[in-house]
A and B are shown apart, each in its own frame.
Chain A
Amino acid sequence: MKIKILNLILAEVAVFIAVSVAETSPLAIFIPTKFLYLIAVLPPVFLLLGRNPFDFPLFVVLMAIASAKVLANSEIFYSLLDALYYLGFRSLSENLNSMFLAYKSNLNLSTLSALVVLFCVAQIAWNIEDKLRELKLEIGYPLAVLGIVAFAIYLFYPLVLSIQAYGFPLLFLGLIGVALIMVATYLLAST
């Protein structure tokens, strides 16, 4: 029950964050964002149905709402607008372009990070509860560790990403480097 309540709280916080982001995104032009708060009803409903209050479908909906700004920076989106323009929907294409262009290069990495971190915490807590009960272990310690790890990731991950080299985050370059070393080692060992 503790985990259900925790996940309910996490879900509600995630809904609040996602809708707050939506208010400042191009989505606000199309939908009255106040109505988006109705999504907050979903977690208690899931809870009453005996499901995880912060379920994957809810996460997808929240990510869709929060990532409206993402479209403003998406080359694919602009290519679709070009396609519309070419197909004859010129005014629609131009309108959409002018709306989204205003939000270009306005990154919301920390908001998306918060949503993903909250969802990960909810998923881990939900999945380990039964297993810990089987092992006759208190859930307190793992939850405390989970909280600390989640907070550290939320705090430091965007910072780590901001360290760049040759125009790419140093973290990704490092990961690519490690992967290449492993592939090279495997190839050398197998020949």
Chain B
Amino acid sequence: MKVRKVTRSLVSVALFLLGWGIITTSYELIAVSAIPLLFLAIPYHVSTQVDYAKLSGGDHIGEELEAEIKLKAIGFGILKVMHELPDHFELVEGANAVAAFVLGRADVIIRYRARPMRRGHYRLDRIILEIEHPFLAWKKVDELRVDLELDVKQKLRKITKVETLRGVARSPMPDVDISKIGVPGTDFREIRDYVAGDPMKFVNWKATARRGKLMVNQYEVEGKKAVWIFLDANPYMTFGKSVRNYLECGIEIANALAYYFISRGHKVGLYVIGHGIILYPDVGKRQFKRISEELMRTEVGEESVDHAFENCKKLLAIYKPLIILITRPEYSKPSRFVSEAMKAKILVQVIALKGAVEGDEFALTLFEILRRSAFKSLRRANLIEWDIEKPVRQLMAKVVR
């Protein structure tokens, strides 16, 4: 325990007088040696309660939030109050800690503006109280709880342009592709054998009579092709600054892509590699909300991309979606993932994130060679190399092979 300067000073005086008094057998000196301790023995206590706590704004990264907390304090002493903020919050205006000399009653108001710099679910419910001796000799630490929570989401960067090349189809963008499964429409596709579960209204009686076994009409299903976003959340994705790293950029891209495809009527699914979190492809704003909330909660985990593929292999075979894999291929080595998917006639788009790498020239060259070799093994997939510092708006404007 660190002894305060004022306490040390007064105790030293007391000991000096006591020692002197004992040496000289002086009652007076011994008696006055207690005086400095009397200053330290002044009782102090402050009881506090929250009057109100308000929080507004700060729903998205970089958006300012305004907090106001009023406490009512009764007692005697110096009260220091701090509303604890998570690491990823930047104070813009005011202070999240205040102090007041309480003598009787006092109102303490904390008012500040801050900016969340990272997405996530934050509990801002902790108020730390330090009740100091009136002469700052001692302190007691306590805490109060308030009902304040904040969900900080990625700011939705709307993708304005996704390049579709004319001629030989290089991009697998599914804007015009139709869904593999879904509600059957009215466009006839083919006649096929009956399988258990097919509705009786689709039975083609003429064909059944001709073939001597149940045959059903197959119609084109409504809706567009499904898109399944695979976001890599392995530890190597967190290299860089805590507020802007590969994972944060990946989340931003996944969020933007989910919005882009959902707003165009596609079914969009999500798989967070690292935790094995699966959100099955679906349409609509609710699905976007689900994806967005899942992305907001995403933290680092450990799982290989191959394991992720194995986990949802069956579903991928049913949906035949476009897979968008957001990763760092030089670490995740997704060549087996890509080849397995291609074998199952599933298109894969790999978004390879890149950032500034520090080191000497030789190390950088070596790293680049490794990256290129990882890219070569992915030549069957569509590959986009994306700098994490670049704005996501222009994502996919440039397709690399």
Q: Does B160 contact A (CB under 8 A)?
A: no
Which of A112, A117, A131, A145 makes the CB contact (< 8 A) with B28?
A112
Question: CA–CA, A157 to B34, complex, Å?
Answer: 10
**A-B CB contacts (within 8 Å), total count:** 100
Decide if A135 is an interface residue (CB 8 Å cutoff).
yes
Looking at the complex, which one of A113, A123, A131, A137 makes contact with B101 (CB distance below 8 Å)? A137
What is the chain A residue whose CB lies nearest that of B97?
A135
Which of A60, A112, A127 is B32 in contact with, Cβ under 8 Å?
A112
Q: Are A108 and B103 in contact (CB under 8 A)?
A: no
Q: Which of A59, A60, A120, A169 contacts B35 (CB 8 A)?
A: A120
> What number of B residues sit within 8 Å (CB to CB) of A?
34
Q: A127-B6, A128-B136 are in contact. Are A116 and B100 (CB under 8 A)?
A: no
A70, A75, A149: which contacts B29 (Cβ < 8 A)?
Answer: A70
Interface 9-mer from B36-44, B52-60, B85-93:
B36-44
Per DSSP, chain A at the interface is helix
Q: Is A61 among interface residues, defined by CB-CB distance under 8 A?
A: no
- Contact pick for B39, options A60, A74, A149, CB 8 Å: A149
Given contacts A109-B32, A141-B103, A145-B103, are A73 and B135 in contact (CB under 8 A)? no
State which size class the interface on A falls in.
35 or more
Query: With a CB–CB cut-off of 8 A, which chain B residues contact A70?
Result: 24, 26, 28-29
**How far is A135 from B81 in the complex, measured between Cα atoms in Å?**
11
Question: What is the CA–CA distance of A93 and B150 in the complex, to the nearest angstrom?
Answer: 83
- B157 CB–A CB distance under 8 Å: no
Contact partners of B10 in chain A: CB under 8 A = 120, 123-124
Contact status A127-B28, CB under 8 Å: no
Besides A120-B35, A120-B39, 8 new A-B residue pairs in contact (Cβ under 8 A), listed by A number: A77-B24, A109-B28, A113-B35, A120-B13, A124-B135, A127-B9, A142-B135, A157-B38
* 11 A–B pairs (Cβ distance < 8 Å), ordered by A: A56-B13, A63-B20, A67-B26, A73-B27, A75-B25, A109-B28, A116-B13, A120-B36, A128-B135, A138-B101, A145-B134
